[in-house]
Amino acid sequence: MKLPARVDSNSEVMMGKPCIKGTRIPVYLLLQKMAAGEDADQLLVTYPQLAKEDLLACLEYAAALAGEEVVLAEA
């Protein structure tokens, strides 16, 4: 899977977990916060180094993963 332009995975940063490029903020953390109900404005205040496009890249990443999901049929 190709990562969105604003997402990077580097084995030297956060053990290789996908992060917002140029930061140590992992994509999964932002997705968890959005799933818990934090909106974009709250996240941008909490993480002023981020832009709205970074949050959209997180959603793009999650959508790509969901699209590649393998569903196993029960036996």
What are the pLDDT digits (tens) for 29-57?
999 999 999 999 999 999 999 999 999 99
Q: Are strands 7-8 and 19-20 parallel, antiparallel or unpaired?
A: antiparallel
Residue 60 pLDDT > 70: yes
Q: What would the two tokens of residue 18 be? A: 């996908």
Residue that has been written with the tokens 């949050």 in this structure: 55
pTM of the model: 0.88
**Per-residue pLDDT at 56:** 98
Q: Decide: 27 and 19 in contact? Cβ < 8 Å.
A: yes
Q: Decide: 18 and 26 in contact? Cβ < 8 Å.
A: yes
Question: Measuring CA to CA, which residue among 28, 22, 14 is closest to residue 58?
Answer: 28
Inter-axis angle of helices 52-67 and 27-35, nearest 10:
90
Domains of the chain plus CATH, in order, are: 7-67 (1.10.10.10)
